[in-house]
Structure 1
Amino acid sequence: MDTFFTSAELPEGLRSAFAESRISLSLADAKAEDMPLIAVNQPFCDMSGYGPDEVLDRNCRFLQPNESPDAVRKDMREFLYDSDKPDGRFVIPNVTKDGRKFLNLVYMAKLKKDDEVTFVLGSQFPVDPEKASEPDLYDRALKESLKQLNLLSGDDNWALLGSFDALASSHSIIARARME
């Protein structure tokens, strides 16, 4: 699977974790101003519709429509700058390159080297608002923070959300182990 990087300083284990993954992954440089993306894999490009040359060296907020909810953005910023939180989970409205709206379940994991957050790993799971159980879910996500992920569907899909969580967690565990 194709993986695209802007930095030669990434550990080989982290590079191979990206190459082996079939889920959308991104990696931001936590030490650089505005935390730009320094790695994405092919599933990320397929999900967003953007090529690597269009996403690398940019903060991933370009995927958010202008009317994205400030509450979700605030929650994400707080997570990124809170040293006590190693992982975060968010639902954010996104738009593909061709203008298709979707909800993005984003799992972020901070990766440390020498006890300093060096990278932020993102695992993304798109949810098509037209296939969600509530037709106005995308529009409501634009107006409020979706901290309670049960808004995505009925109780039946908690197992599905749990599967996303397990996938994202396993990728963050692998990435953390391969940082060494």
Structure 2
Amino acid sequence: MRAILPEQLASYFDSSPVALSLGRAEGDHELLLTNEGFRNLTGYATSEIVGRNCRFLQGRSRNEEARAQIRSFLQDDGQANVRTSIVNFRKDGRPFVNLLYMTKLRAQSGQVRYIFASQFDVSRTQPDRLADYDLDLERTLDRLSPVLAESGIVVEGSLMTIANTVATIAQAKLILSDLDNGDFL
């Protein structure tokens, strides 16, 4: 799979400190590439995830609102990005609340080439860690843009700063409480 990707993009993924994944723009949006941060977060090896849609991480959780937001993003060519909390499960079965950010990477012709995503576990984090992640993600996107430009690809959207980090973490804790009570399946 890696051979079809611009080498600069693959190299960039390998060096990023943020958990990243890259999916196909068409079809079932199968994963083409993940980095070490993603593999550490989920517990899955590359051979277990490339070629699969990320929805397998959701297990049996409903995630109705998050799924609707993701579907809307994928179906609406004009929607540049989406950011939502979604319940995911690690390979060992432990749940976590994933703050998922997705954006479209387009060729200069305007055609969506890839779906770029970043993941962050907000389950048991502190506001300062989330703020650090936001800063890392913003830097990642800033550094990714010129790397992609060399391959004729542009980042469709830019990261919107979280308005209330404490509220995001509080929401994640509520979701975890629901998970612990079995209310999310």
TM-score normalised by the chain length of structure 2: 0.72
Q: Distance in 2 between matches of 1:37 and 1:164?
A: 22
Greater than 6 Å deviation, 4+ residue runs: none
Between the aligned partners of 1:158 and 1:40, the Cα distance in structure 2 is 21
Unaligned ranges ≥5, structure 2: 153-185
Deviation at 1:63, TM superposition (A): 0.5
- Choose from 74, 80, 86 the match for 1:80: 74
Task: State whether structure 2 residue 145 is matched by structure 1 residue 173.
Answer: yes
What does 1:6-155 correspond to in 2, within 5 Å? 6-31=1-26, 33-113=27-107, 114-128=109-123, 131-132=124-125
Task: List alignment gaps of at least 5 residues for structure 1.
Answer: 1-5, 134-152
Which secondary structure state, in structure 1, belongs to the residue aligned with residue 120 of structure 2? strand
Partner of 1:148: none
Would you say how many aligned residue pairs link Structure 1 and Structure 2?
Answer: 151
RMSD between aligned residues: 2.2
The TM-score, its normalising length taken from structure 1, stands at 0.74
User: C-alpha deviations, 1:83-129, integer Å up to 9, x for none?
Assistant: 1122221111111000111111111110111210010011111123x
Quick one: percent identity of the two aligned structures?
35
CA positional deviation for 1:157: 7.5
**Conserved 8 A contact 2:18-2:137:** no
Distance 2:100 2:143 in 1: 13
Which structure has greater helix proportion? Answer: 2
